[in-house]
Amino acid sequence: NNSLHNLNGDENEIANQDYTYAHDENVDGTINYGETEKQRVAPPPVVEENKQVTNEAEKLGTDEAPLIEYANEPLLPLVDACAPLNDVLHDLSYYVNMALEETPEEPPDGLTMDESAAIRLYTIEWEAPHRSLYSMLNYTLKNCSREDLRPYFRYMKLFLTALVKLPCCPPLTVWRGVTKNLSIDFPPGTRLTWWAFSSTTTELTVLENNMYLGTTGARTLFSVESINGRTIRNHSHFVTEDEILLLPGTHMIVQSQFSPATDLYIIHLKQVIPDETLLELPFEGARLYPKLERPWYRKKRFVIPLALLITMCIVATVVGAILGTRAANKEPPYVFTNPYPSGTTFDIGSFPISLVSGYFNGDKYVDLAILNSGDQSIDILLGNANGIYSTLTQTDTGTDPLFYLC
C-alpha cells in the first residue's frame, strides 16, 4: 500500500456524508493517507486558502477568527473526545477502535495512548465514498465558521495536545503542491495564514509522481521555510510515511516566486511567528514554537566587557607603575596650567567600552574613535589645529561589538 496522499484530489461541497459531492477542478497537492488503489475524495485544497489574499492575512471561508475556544475543552479519552462527531463522520466508532488497537500501550515521544491514537486517527483513510476525519476537519477549518467547528473542539484538544508534545522539527524547507497556476495571487511581501492542518513533504521528488502533481500542465509548488512542523511518523497509520504536519494558524510571508520551466511556478514562503495569537495553546506551558537558544556570546554580553575592562585597568596600573618609576629619575615635566582653553562636548553612543586614538584622516592631528556596545556603533572625533575635536561622525557595527583595533 502506498501511504502518500492522492496529491491531485477534488474540491467538494459537503453538507452530509451521504450527499453527492460536487466536483471542482481546484486541486491540492498534499500527503494522502489512503491507498493508491482506493482513490479518495480529497480534502478541500490549499487553492481555496490562497484565492483571496490581502496584506493582512488570507480570506479563508466565512470566519478568520483565531482558534481559541477549543482549548477550554476538557482533555478526554479518544472515544469521548470523538463522541460529538458521531453524527458528522460515517462509522466513526469503527475507525476510533482501529486507531486504539494499532496504538501501543506506551507510545513514543512521551504521549499517552489516547494522544497517540488521536494522531493515528487523523491519518486513517475512510472507505470511499465517505470523507475521512482529516478531510472533514480541514474543510471546516478553512471554509466554515468557528461555530460550525465546535463539534470538533474536543477532538482538537486531544489532537493538538499530542502534536505540541512532539518535538519541533528544526527549521527546514518543506513542499506542498497545487495543479494550478497561483503565481498571480502571491506577490512578494504578501502575508498569509493557513488555517488547516497542512501536510507537507521534504522530498520534492514525491510531488513529481504522475499520481500527484506530475511533470506536465500548470503546477504551483510552495516552498515553505517552516519553523515548527511536527513529524508524525511514529504515530501514523502508515509507518513508512515521512510527513511534516504544519499546525493551524501557520503564518507566512511570500519571499519570492519564479518559473523554472513552462507551466511550473515555485512560490517561496517563510513562516514567521504572528504578532497575535492565531492558535491558542492546548494546555498551560505548551510550546507552539521552538525555544530560541541564545548564543554563548550573547548570554555573556555583559560578562565579557566587564572582564575586558578589569584587564585594561590591571594593565594600566602596571604600565603606570613602570612609567612612574622611570619618571622619578627625571626632571619633572613642564605642566600646562590651561591646556584646553575652550571645551567642546559631544553626545556619543550608549555604553562606551573602548577608546582608540590615531591619525584616521591622514593629517598630523590626533583623532579619537569610541566603540559603543549599547547601540552597536563607533563615534569618530577628528582633531584639528586648535587642539579640539570639531567633527563627529558615527557608523554602525555588527552585533555585540567587544573591542576596537586600529
* Mean predicted confidence (pLDDT) in 22-44: 37
C-alpha cell at 360: 584616521
Q: Which position has the grid cell 453524527?
A: 87
Residue 402's pLDDT is 65
Of 191, 175, 261, which Cα lies nearest the Cα of 226? 175
**Is residue 284 over pLDDT 50?**
yes
**Is residue 159 over pLDDT 90?**
yes
Q: Strand, helix or coil at 296?
A: helix
C-alpha cell at 227: 519553523
Half-sphere exposure of residue 66: CA atoms within 13 angstroms, side-chain side = 11
Residue 338's pLDDT is 60
Residue 349's pLDDT is 76
Q: Mean pLDDT lowest for which of 221-225, 250-254, 309-313?
A: 309-313
- Maximum Cα–Cα distance for the chain, whole Å? 109
Instruction: Pick the more confident residue, 241 or 140.
Output: 140
Residue 230's pLDDT is 97
Work out the angle between the directed axes of helices 133-143 and 113-123 (0-180°, nearest 10).
Answer: 80
C-alpha cell at 264: 511550473
Query: How far apart are the two ends of the chain, measured CA to CA in Å?
Result: 68
Residue 141's pLDDT is 96
Residue 212's pLDDT is 62
Residue 191 — φ and ψ, nearest 5°? -100, 140
Instruction: For residues 34 and 1, give the distance between their C-alpha atoms in angstroms, rounded to a whole number.
Output: 8
**Residue 6 pLDDT level (bands cut at 50, 70, 90):** very low
Percent of the chain clearing pLDDT 90 (strictly above): 47
| Bridge partner residues of 264 (DSSP) | 219, 261
Distances (CA, A) of 258 to 223, 261, 264: 11, 9, 9
**Is residue 52 over pLDDT 70?**
no
Cβ distance 392 to 381 under 8 Å?
yes
Residue 173's pLDDT is 94
By DSSP bridging, strand 250-261 and strand 264-271 are antiparallel
Residue 35's pLDDT is 39
Residue 335's pLDDT is 59
Instruction: For residues 357 and 370, give the distance between their C-alpha atoms in angstroms, rounded to a whole number.
Output: 9
Instruction: For residues 135 and 12, give the distance between their C-alpha atoms in angstroms, rounded to a whole number.
Output: 10
Q: Strand, helix or coil at 260?
A: strand
Residue 208's pLDDT is 67
Residues 6 or more apart whose Cβ sits within 8 Å of residue 292: none
Taking the C-alpha atoms of 199, 200, 205 and 211 in order, what is their torsion angle to the nearest 10 degrees? 20
**How big is the chain by its Cα radius of gyration, in Å?**
32
331-371 pLDDT, tens per residue? 666 555 665 555 667 777 777 878 888 887 778 788 888 88
What's the pTM value of the predicted model, to 2 decimals?
0.62
* Mean predicted confidence (pLDDT) in 171-192: 93
* Mean predicted confidence (pLDDT) in 278-288: 95
Cβ distance 233 to 239 under 8 Å?
yes
66-109 pLDDT, tens per residue? 999 999 999 999 999 999 999 999 999 999 999 999 999 999 99
C-alpha cell at 101: 488497537
**Residue 204 pLDDT level (bands cut at 50, 70, 90):** confident
Cβ distance 63 to 140 under 8 Å?
no
**Is residue 125 over pLDDT 50?**
yes
Instruction: Pick the more confident residue, 51 or 72.
Output: 72
Instruction: For residues 361 and 381, give the distance between their C-alpha atoms in angstroms, rounded to a whole number.
Output: 11
Query: Omega before 77 cis (within 30°)?
Result: no
**Residue 250 pLDDT level (bands cut at 50, 70, 90):** very high
CA-based angle 21:123:226, to the nearest 5?
105
Residue 268's pLDDT is 97
Instruction: For residues 178 and 167, give the distance between their C-alpha atoms in angstroms, rounded to a whole number.
Output: 28
**Is residue 10 over pLDDT 70?**
no
**Is residue 49 over pLDDT 90?**
no
Taking the CA atoms of 184, 188, 189 and 191 in sequence, report the sign of the dihedral they define: positive
C-alpha cell at 137: 476537519
Cβ distance 197 to 248 under 8 Å?
yes
Instruction: Pick the more confident residue, 146 or 320.
Output: 146
C-alpha cell at 144: 466554515
Q: What is the mean pLDDT of the chain?
A: 78
Residues 6 or more apart whose Cβ sits within 8 Å of residue 218: 179, 180, 181, 263, 265
